[in-house]
Amino acid sequence: MEDCIFCKIANGEIPSKLVYEDEAVAAFYDLTPQAPIHVLIVPKRHYADILEAEESGAPLNQMARAAKTIARQLGLEENGFRLVINTGADGGQTVPHLHMHMMGGRAFGWPAG
């Protein structure tokens, strides 16, 4: 997908602080972190959002698996973390490439504001 910032980050066209990569997924630090650790996990294939992701849920499985690996890698297993997928206008999605926020290193309240 041309002109998609997360496609460009995922394929290395734009440099980022890469945390994790496999054949299907890339993960890198958020530019504007909302927590001491704030990583974005994205499928390498372009989907605008979760509604566009395949019926099989394959990209979501791959992202969730990456989150488990990253949790181990960054020491988030003990205290936990938050995973968020913003979708559309009401969801507050600003980048139209499916992504999962992984945030840790502090406690979050619920419900989110």
Cis peptide before 111 (omega within 30 of 0): yes
Exposed e or buried b per residue across 81-106, where buried means at least 16 C-beta atoms within 10 angstroms of its C-beta: bbeebbeeeeeebeebbbbbbbbbee
Site pattern 34..73 for ligand 5GP (x: CB under 6 A): ------x---------------------------------
Q: Which residue type is seen at 67?
A: A
Token readout for 11 is 């394929």
Binding status of residue 16 toward ligand 5GP by CB under 6 A: yes
Verify binding: residue 101, Zn ion, rule CB under 5 A. Answer: no
Residue 84 contacts residue 103 (beta carbons within 8 Å) = yes
Identify the active-site residue in 38, 46, 97, 99.
99
**Catalytic-residue membership of 99:** yes
User: Which of 19, 28, 66, 102: binder of ligand 5GP (CB under 6 A)?
Assistant: 28
> What mask of x and - would describe binding to Zn ion in positions 34 to 63, judged by CB under 5 A?
------------x-----------------
Active site (catalytic) residues: 99
